[in-house]
Structure 1
Amino acid sequence: MTLPDLPAARRRLDSALDDLTVVFRGMTAHPDEYNCDCHWGSAEELARLKVADLELDLDLLHRTWQAPDWTDKAAVLRRILPQLASTLVTGRVAETYSDMETIGRAFAFGAWREWPAGQSAAVEEFLGAWWSHTLTDPDPVVPAHDVLVLVTEATGMVRPWLDAWEAHRFPAADAHLAAAADHWDHDLLGDRLPWSAWENEEELCADLTAWLVRHASDRLRDSGAPEDLLHRIRLLGVTGPDRWDDPHWPDYFYWRLRQEP
């Protein structure tokens, strides 16, 4: 088996981070931007968002991407994007705030795909480079299942990221798949998405489940995953009573969606 080129993946990610810094240099929140000083922060902190390239402390950065009520969400996201991306990659966000879906929504709310071509391309390349590096790295600072949540919420799609995972046929990516499947199966066997999606939750759940059924079993078996995990993934392809009456149905509680007569 050909091993992945981790240094090349890291160089791609570093280049994407550098590009974000260049593309979004000088960006500020709108001069008239406002947020409640009782719930968001002080006037002094708001003023920092209107100064270009001024580094924010982690708490202010968190409150900024978390707030859903900016008047010009795109401008606020552009202002914080280089620092946010760097903080995500180093794991400093995950250490303090593990709500990956909310960070992903901050990207989506900023409507980054509608930005000028150079800006949207820089964001797309960052997301792709970070995902590829995560799959390639045997010990990423942010687990693959968490990164997948963020990039899915940022783009509103899970299939392209799963396609990339399918293309990464390396031991590290297989190990991440085993960890993710073990993390997700409790929800998926209850026909629930393992995170709170902003929209299209049923579609995302169906796509993720179908991909695991099609692609996960062989890779998990080849990588030495436990037999009980293989059975749990197999059961994702079984529906109704055949699922929960299966002899390998886990003995801990799952939601049973049996329709009462």
Structure 2
Amino acid sequence: MEVSDHWNDFPRLYRRLTPLLVRRAVLGGEHGVPADVVASRLREAGCLEWAPGLTDALRAVGVTWWRAVLHGEVRGAGGNPDAGEALGVLTVASGTVRPWLGIWAATRTPYADALLAEYIAQLPYSVGDLGDGWWDEDPRHDPRREVAAWLLRDVRDRLNGLTPDDVMALNEVRCTF
């Protein structure tokens, strides 16, 4: 939980601790660590530039965890994580939102649809929070715009009728960020 400059050779240390920290973040429980902090520290440690085997392993854990979230199969001290929180964690850690949106769009279950409805009910905060912990600060890579467009275009038919306020909020997010 310490800031990265507290440690000597933080990237190397974090790479060594990653299996333990990711496991604790994903599983939660008594010894869990905040997943959003782990994601931010992974980016700080340069996880996107690690050796392919390491980045592939992180991606595989992310895919498995995201699918478990979307199917309501994650069990921890706090129960199932909020889809918006999980999406934010995965987006920050991986540097992209696209694969996670693709998996959500392909997961056509009542539970995944209920998560979409919950995500929409929390607008604009659910989409706006995606920028938290985003290290690149490059507006071309800001995930909020992409998520708003995805909601309006790719999964709109699963949202049981967006209200005019919802559409306005999504369009505002899409055009602002």
TM-score range, shorter chain: 0.7 to 0.9
Corresponding residue for 2:164? 231
**2:25 touches 2:33 (CA, 8 Å); kept in 1?**
no
Question: Compared with structure 1, are the counterparts of its residues 113 and 219 closer, same or farther at alpha carbon in structure 2 (3 Å cutoff)?
Answer: same
Report which of the two structures shows the higher radius of gyration computed on alpha carbons: 1
Corresponding residue for 2:121? 182
The gaps in structure 1 that reach 5 residues or longer are 1-62, 222-226, 240-256
User: TM-score normalised to the size of structure 2?
Assistant: 0.76
For the pair 1:68 / 2:4, whether they are aligned, the reply is: yes
For the pair 1:88 / 2:25, whether they are aligned, the reply is: yes
Aligned pair partner of 1:154 in 93, 106, 117: 93
**1:193 touches 1:201 (CA, 8 Å); kept in 2?**
no
Corresponding residue for 2:47? 112
The offset of 1:168, in angstroms, is 0.8
Alignment of 1:20-99 (within 5 A): 63=1, 66-69=2-5, 70-92=7-29, 97=34
**2:21 touches 2:33 (CA, 8 Å); kept in 1?**
no
C-alpha distance in 2 between matches for 1:129 and 1:104: 16
Q: CA RMSD in A?
A: 2.9
**1:113 touches 1:120 (CA, 8 Å); kept in 2?**
yes
The offset of 1:162, in angstroms, is 0.8
Corresponding residue for 2:103? 164
Question: Which fold has the larger relative contact order, with Cα–Cα distance below 8 Å and residues 6 or more apart in sequence?
Answer: 2
Question: Compared with structure 1, are the counterparts of its residues 71 and 220 closer, same or farther at alpha carbon in structure 2 (3 Å cutoff)?
Answer: same
Work out the percentage of aligned pairs sharing the same amino acid: 27
Corresponding residue for 2:112? 173
Deviation per CA, 1:93-141, whole angstroms, max 9, x where unpaired?
89774x72x3211111222232223222211111111111111226762
The gaps in structure 2 that reach 5 residues or longer are none
User: TM-score normalised to the size of structure 1?
Assistant: 0.54
**1:90 touches 1:141 (CA, 8 Å); kept in 2?**
no
